[in-house]
């Protein structure tokens, strides 16, 4: 019996000693729990601050968007005002011309000369229409970017209402450098028949085919830098392609965007190319703001695109590529006035 009591006593002593050891460990456990709770509280505070920063940035972005809309509306109002001013000036000019013609009829007082006066009036009107645009000059063509030059040349011809023969003469005067050499070589061997023939042969000679056809370059357009540069490149490539439908333009534009921008714009379901371009610009602005605020560590842990490629230049070569601030040379061409017999003057504009 005594042995059993001793064994039980020893077992109790061991249990008591183990309980004492556990009691000694309790303060350390409490310290660890306290440290964990403090860490959790600090993380909660940081989370709240990041949420506040995010909300503030979103408000700034909305304010910038509203400001951009307001500026666009102001620009439209200004353009309408300028159009009204131009129309009023045109109306005033026509009224003055009519008054001068009436004064001539009163002074002459001869009904038999009405037809002659009408012809003179028509000639005066043509001369007046030309004089309204006397400051519009013909661009000089040296062989670079023939599509842009033809576009501006056609507008010049519309303003001055030139005949087909006059178009040929004015075009030759505006040629310089390689373009003039080419025209002289062709004129001596295979003369140009009319303005359409000159345009087609000019495009065949000077339109670059090194990067492929116009359609091939357009459909291969990809964004490699900012949205603004991509839009400029897109507009430049689509300018000579007037036969493409709006649907083709929209699909080509959105397919060339960065994947993350394309996904964000597609989610918004824009209607029409202008609205699509506007949403793309907003998406880029939002991305730049987030990068500058360094919010990616909280939102996704990484950048949505590689910043190292953000300023990579576009790879599609264009006419005049690599030239900055290249101004189009102009040439003043004074057309013959049928009313007063003034001679034609040519030479570079000052």
How big is the CA angle at 205 (ends 141 and 159), to the nearest 5 degrees? 40
192: how many CB neighbours lie within 10 A of its CB?
A: 18
pLDDT beneath 50, residues of the chain: 103, 106-107, 133, 297-325, 338-350
Q: Where are the domains of the chain?
A: 1-35, 115-207+329-348, 214-309
Helical H segments across 175-271, by residue range: 178-189, 195-206, 214-219, 227-238, 246-255, 259-268
Nearest to 261 by CA among 322, 323, 304, 297: 304
Torsional sign, CA 197, 199, 200, 203: positive
Residue 312: per-residue pLDDT:
39
Cα separation, 26 vs 28, whole angstroms: 6
Mapped onto helix, strand or coil, the DSSP state of residue 342 is strand
Name residue 332's beta-bridge partners.
347
> Residue 314 has what pLDDT?
43
Residue 166, token pair as written in the block: 């006059």
pLDDT in tens, 94-135: 555 555 555 455 445 555 555 655 665 666 666 555 555 456
Tens-digit pLDDT profile for residues 284-324:
888 888 877 765 544 444 444 444 344 433 444 444 444 44
Q: CA 233 to CA 211: how far, in whole Å?
A: 14
What was the pLDDT predicted at 345?
46
pTM, full prediction: 0.38
> By C-alpha distance, which of 262, 246, 252, 239 is closest to 318?
239
Residue 337's SS3 state is strand
């Amino acid at each position: 019996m005594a042995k059993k009591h001793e064994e039980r006593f020893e077992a109790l002593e061991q249990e008591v000693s183990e309980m004492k050891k556990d009691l000694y460990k309790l303060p350390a456990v409490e310290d660890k729990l306290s440290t964990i709770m403090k860490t959790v509280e600090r993380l909660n505070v940081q989370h709240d601050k990041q949420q506040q920063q995010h909300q503030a940035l979103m408000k700034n972005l909305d304010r910038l968007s509203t400001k951009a809309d307001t500026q666009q509306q102001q620009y439209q109002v200004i353009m309408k005002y300028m159009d009204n001013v131009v129309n009023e000036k045109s109306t005033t000019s026509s009224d003055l011309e009519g008054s001068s013609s009436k004064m001539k009829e009163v002074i002459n007082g001869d009904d038999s000369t009405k037809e002659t006066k009408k012809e003179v009036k028509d000639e005066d009107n043509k001369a007046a229409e030309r004089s309204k645009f006397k400051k519009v000059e013909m661009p000089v063509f040296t062989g670079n970017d023939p599509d842009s030059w033809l576009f501006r040349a056609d507008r010049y011809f519309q303003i001055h209402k030139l005949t087909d023969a006059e178009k040929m003469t004015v075009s030759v005067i505006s040629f310089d450098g390689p373009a003039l050499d080419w025209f002289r070589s062709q004129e001596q061997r295979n003369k140009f028949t009319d303005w359409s023939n000159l345009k087609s042969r000019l495009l065949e000679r000077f339109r670059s085919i090194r990067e492929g056809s116009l359609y091939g370059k357009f459909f291969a357009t990809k964004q490699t830098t900012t949205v603004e540069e991509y839009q400029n490149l897109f507009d430049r490539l689509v300018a000579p392609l007037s036969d493409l439908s709006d649907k083709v333009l929209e699909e080509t534009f959105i397919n060339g965007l960065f994947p993350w921008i394309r996904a964000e714009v597609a989610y918004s379901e824009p209607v029409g190319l202008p609205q699509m371009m506007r949403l793309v610009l907003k998406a880029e602005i939002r991305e730049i703001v987030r990068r500058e605020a360094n919010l990616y560590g909280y939102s996704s842990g990484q950048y949505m695109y590689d910043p190292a490629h953000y300023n990579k230049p576009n790879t599609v070569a264009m006419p005049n590529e690599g030239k900055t601030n290249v101004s189009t040379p102009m040439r003043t061409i004074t057309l013959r006035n049928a009313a007063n017999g003034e001679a034609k003057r040519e030479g570079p504009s000052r």
